[in-house]
Amino acid sequence: MKRPEDRYFDELTQQELWTRYCGFLDLGTKEFMEIQEELLLDQIDRVWPSPLGRRLIGSHKPASVDEFRQVVPITTYEDYAADLQDRRADSLAFAPSLWCHSSGRMGQFKWIPHSADFLERANKACVSIITLASAGSRGKIDFRPGFHFLLVLPPAPYVSGALIDSLSEHISFQSIPPRDSASKVPFQQRVADGFQIALREGVDVIAAISSVLVKMGEQFEGQARRTKLSASMLHPAVLSRLLKARLRAQRERRPMLPKDLWPSKAIITAGMDTAIYKAAIRKYWGSEPYEFYSCAETMMLAIQGWNKKGLYFLPDIAFFEFIPEGEAIRIEEDPSYQPRTLLLDEVEEGQLYEVVISHFYGMPLLRYRMRDLVRFAGLQDPDTGIKLPHMQFQRRVGETIDLAALARLDERTLWQAIANTGLRHVDWAAIKEYDGEQAYLRLYIELKEQVDEERVAQMVDEQLRIIDVDYCDLDSYLGLQPVRVTALPAGCFDRYTERQRRAGADPARLKPAHINASPETLRMLLSTEE
């Protein structure tokens, strides 16, 4: 069945398609801000008459962006919970077309409404993502409606599943496995079913969590050495695909890998671990992963260009403000503090900012703290000619390990340091602990090889000194190496995941937190019990 976006691929030229889906990358900062201002003023007109809008904005409707930023306080989900948590629409400006929820941090979901107008824009942005993920250069459109889409994502009402369900109404694609089974079949079974379909029909685009892709690649590599023909493999298309894949692997004198079976045009991922897993994803799946900044609040906030490097905010998804890192720290110390914010044309290269959004298209979030910190790597990109600031997701506010008030280590920094050691490992968790009055970083890590704990600590310490300038000062101030390591028993992360699954845990909490894991989590990781 034809979908609304399908016709553009029949009617428009390549250049016109590129302009439709990727034209925002031709904007300068001035044009970006003009779009932001126009849509925010429209948003004020839409939400101010509603009960929630009046409560947040006040009895006087702001007439400008500056006035809006002066009269509306910075908000958090607690300011909306009474209206949104039970999915009530009576206080909103419009009845939502869709509700989706977050991954459930701190044991509770955040329910977010989305309007029909927003979904129209979000789905167009999804097509932008697929276009840019599959493009090798500016202006190149390398996919068409009807593409085969391998989806290894949680189902609706998680944001990823809700977005895919909505996208399927706007552009045609073949979902692998079929979407109608997503909520009824366990995750691992869905993956296995998807592989069987993909063996017959092939894959054009893959969307998955980075760490899951790597795990699937590792398992595939191990199983490929032992795979024997089964009845399901006797289909002519499957046999042909397997034969070609095996011959390719033999020519390169290595085990068969997923990339031999499915040379996909694009691999789409979200999450800050994408940068860490890039090399492994290329090894197993054959393509450079494409990253976008996803969230329940706006489904996506920023996407990469065709060179798959920095992330660019989308001008017509939400209104963006940025709290400088120092101001964000003050809010943590004093929640009543109202910080100053900057707009996109005011941010500085190399600086960290917390993202603040205001919904467009009549939905309720106004000057809402995302609690995500991003770092702007550049204010434009001379390599591509893109004239917009580009950034990288850094960490969540408050998710750090502070050592001696000198170094603030976040998940991304630790992840990079561990990856740079070259140690073969399954996963890790880190906490701050004390020896007397001295603070240390305790790293719990499941290794795939025998390495002395002190040697692991030394290797991680060496990499942290290279990556983090503030960490380098710890030795001169404290005269010590602040990393201590505990090697975890083999299989502990798999056992933890299985226990969580058996206990009925939410899919987003099957894996333990990397930073500041709870004592109960650490006890489970240290246990060898099944």
Residue ranges of the domains in the chain? Answer: 119-291, 400-526
* Residue 404, pLDDT score: 65
* Residue 229, pLDDT score: 47
| pLDDT 10s digits, 470-511 | 787 676 666 678 899 999 999 999 899 888 878 766 555 678
* Residue 232, pLDDT score: 52
pTM equals 0.83
Span 234-246, mean pLDDT?
Answer: 79
Span 3-30, mean pLDDT?
Answer: 95
| pLDDT 10s digits, 68-108 | 999 999 999 999 999 998 898 999 999 999 999 876 544 56
Alpha-carbon distances of 282 from 4, 127, 250, 447, 458, rounded to whole Å: 33, 23, 19, 22, 29
* Residue 133, pLDDT score: 95
DSSP-derived letter for residue 407 is E
Residue 234 has pLDDT above 60, yes or no: no
Q: Is the CA virtual torsion 77, 81, 86, 92 positive or negative? A: negative
* Residue 106, pLDDT score: 44
Rounded to 10 deg, the angle between the 159-167 and 116-134 helix axes is: 90
- Least confident range of 44-48, 343-347, 516-520: 516-520
| Nearest alpha carbon to residue 413 among 455, 438, 443 | 443
Q: What is the CA radius of gyration of the chain?
A: 24
Q: Which residue has the higher pLDDT, 157 or 206?
A: 206
CB distance 208 to 215 below 8 Å: no
Span 154-168, mean pLDDT?
Answer: 86
Residue 21 exposure: Cα atoms within 13 Å on the Cβ side: 32
Residue 405 has pLDDT above 80, yes or no: no
Fold of 400-526: GMP Synthetase; Chain A, domain 3 (3.30.300)
- What is the helix (H) or strand (E) element at residue 77, kind and residue range? none
Span 25-36, mean pLDDT?
Answer: 97
Amino acid present at 161: G
Show Cβ contacts of residue 523 under 8 Å, excluding neighbours closer than 6 positions: none
